[in-house]
Amino acid sequence: MDLNSRLQQVAVVGAAGKMGSGIALLLALELGYRALERPESTFILNLIDMNDAGLQGLVRYLRDQAAKDGEKQINRLRELFRNRADLVDNEDMVREFVFEVLLRVRTGRTLDLARESLLVFEAAFETEDVKLSIYKDLAGRCRPEAWFLSNTSSIPLQALSEACGLQGRMIGYHFYNPPAVQKLVEVIAPSSCSPELVQVAFELARLLRKRTVPAADIAGFIGNGHFIRDGLYAIREVERLAPEHGLVPALYMVDRVSRDFLLRPMGIFQLMDYVGIDVFQLITRVMTKYLGEDLHSDLLERYLALGVKGGQTSSGAQKPGFLDYQKGRPSAIFDPDAQGYAPLEGPWVLAAAARLGPTPEPVLSWKALQKDPDAGTRLAAWFQAIKGMDTLGADLARRHYQASRETGLNLVRQGVAGSAEDVNEVLKLGFFHLYGPITEYM
């Protein structure tokens, strides 16, 4: 069965969540255009979630985003609607396209909606229990030729597919957040995976205009394989620095160094908040279970025990975690001793910044370098300067850079990534880093 036939019956499980709604949008748009290009076929997108309000929000989201996409692709629509005499204005055509997209969509709360689906995307909560119970249920309902694409970011697919009797029919298809924007899909084909499924998975990624990086079926894959260890490194650095500087200033320093010295889009603790500290912990447990590597952190447990979780609200606003935020920018840091947030202002911040010392001059920023054609040259000069600086900030930057690099190299050594370039691609595309961890800047 070819991809076009399979696209006539598609399902997304966990569709109202952050990742699920993005995957649903990508598919809805593709099926919308496809329905116009192939009027002889019927394309159906089943969107399943336990949350009714979430599903209604999802349909609104699909409506608004379909309009935006139709506006962007107006020339394509004018061509597709060439023979529709009733559609003349751009406005007529965009409205018709939105209708066409929403015609694909069926929503529901039960997995039975996926019964006829030939491609089932799953973006449920990132625990093995949840995913197992969904897949066991689906295995009993879906057609034998149905294939399953899991958005898991950490759980090995071979183990998961065996546990629910879907060997050969399941593949890891890890989108990055937000899926509609991020260019990367990490594709994890377990050893039993059908070669046709692997081929279709890559073909589909091209249709959705995504770049793919293959990863081995080893817990955490490339993305979390790097991120989780990078986060744990940062926590250990905070623990190392805390006796001398205090816990809150130490966390401030490590976060700031990763953002302002290593020139990442956000500090490492802000990134952990973005992902969710609870989700971060779940992934460490999965990786610990399958890899036997000790990824436990007492400090992490302590924050979670105090209810500090991060993550995002349903509208996409950042919830407080290690840091608190105002208008999306860090505004305070959690102090577990005081059990409250210390504002990022006043003498303690100035003192901590003074202890770090300055960044090299001229000051570079991730934002400015993103569009700079000479970014490579500027980064080389920047890190050369950091190499020669005798400050705490430069020392922390050098240590973090090396730790991140070592993590990346280990992913290649352990066969998680096929090459250093694959690791770098994931960090650049999936995490918006300006440079991959396996580079020779320092």
Partner 1 sequence: MPAMPKPVFLAAGAYTISLGPGRREFNPRTPRPGLEHYIQEAGRATLAQISDPGLIDEGVIGNFMAARFNRQGHLGSLMTIVHPALEYKPALRVEGACASGGLALATGIKSVLSGLADVVLVMGVEVQNTVKSLYCADYLAGAGYYAGERKAGPAYFFPGEFSVRAGAYGAKIGPALARQAMARWYKNAVENARLNPSAQEYHNTVPDLLAQGLTPPNPRTFTEHLNLSDCSKVSDGAAAILVASAEGYRRLGLAREDVVEVTGFSQVAANLTTPPPDLTEQTTSRVAATRALAMAGIQAEDAGIFEVHDCFTISGLLSMEALGLAEAGGGAELVLSGATERAGRFPTNTGGGLVGYGHPTGASGVRMAVDLWKQLTGRAGAYQVPVAREHGIMASMGGNDKTVVSLVLKR
What phi and psi, each to the nearest 5 degrees, are found at residue 50?
A: -70, -20
Residue 86 or residue 374: which is nearer to partner 1 going by CB? 86
Closest to partner 1 by CB, 83 vs 305, is 83
For partner 1 (CB under 8 A), the number of binding residues is 10
Closest separation in Å from C-beta 361 to partner 1? 25
CB 415 within 8 A of CB 216: yes
Cβ closest to partner 1, residue 78 vs residue 143: 78
Helix axes 223-245, 298-305, angle to 10 degrees: 90
Helical packing angle, 223-245 and 277-291, nearest 10°: 110
Q: Which of 78, 106, 302, 329 binds partner 1 (CB under 8 A)?
A: 78
**Which tokens go with 157?**
């697919």
| Angle, CA of 390, 408 and 376, to the nearest 5° | 60
Cα separation, 427 vs 223, in Å, equals 7
For the four alpha carbons of 65, 68, 71 and 72, in that order, the dihedral sign comes to negative
Q: Which of 2, 40, 89, 440 binds partner 1 (CB under 8 A)?
A: 89
Does residue 315 touch partner 1 according to CB under 8 A?
Answer: no
Which of positions 35-74 make contact with partner 1 (CB under 8 A)?
Answer: 71, 74
Looking at 246-343, list the stretches that DSSP marks H as alpha helix, in order from N- to C-terminal side: 247-256, 268-275, 277-291, 298-305
* Residues numbered 329-358 forming contacts with partner 1, rule: CB under 8 A: none
- Residue nearer to partner 1 on the CB measure, 83 or 313: 83
For the bound state, the minimum distance from the C-beta of residue 75 to partner 1, rounded and expressed in Å, comes to 6
Residues 366-385 that bind partner 1 (CB under 8 A): none
Q: How far apart are CA 224 and CA 230, in angstroms?
A: 9
Question: If binding is defined by CB under 8 A, does position 85 make contact with partner 1?
Answer: yes
User: CB of residue 70 vs partner 1: minimum separation in angstroms?
Assistant: 9
Give the whole-angstrom CA distance, residue 104 versus residue 71: 19
Stretch that binds partner 1, among 56-64, 88-96, 178-186, 393-401 (CB under 8 A): 88-96
Q: Interface with partner 1 includes 99 (CB under 8 A)?
A: no
Residue 75 binding partner 1, by CB under 8 A: yes
How far apart, in Å, do the first and last CA atoms of the chain sit? Answer: 50
Selected from 41, 90, 199, 314, the binder of partner 1 by CB under 8 A is: 90
Q: Choose which of 91, 145, 244, 421 interacts with partner 1 (CB under 8 A).
A: 91
Nearer to partner 1, 74 or 363 (CB): 74
Backbone angles phi, psi at 402, to 5 degrees: -65, -40
What is the Cα–Cα distance from 216 to 171, expressed in whole angstroms? 11
Dist. CA 13–CA 45, nearest whole Å: 11
If the CB atoms of residues 100 and 128 are measured against partner 1, the closer one turns out to be 100
4 binds partner 1 (CB under 8 A): no
Q: Contact residues for partner 1 (CB under 8 A)? A: 71, 74-75, 78, 85, 88-91, 94
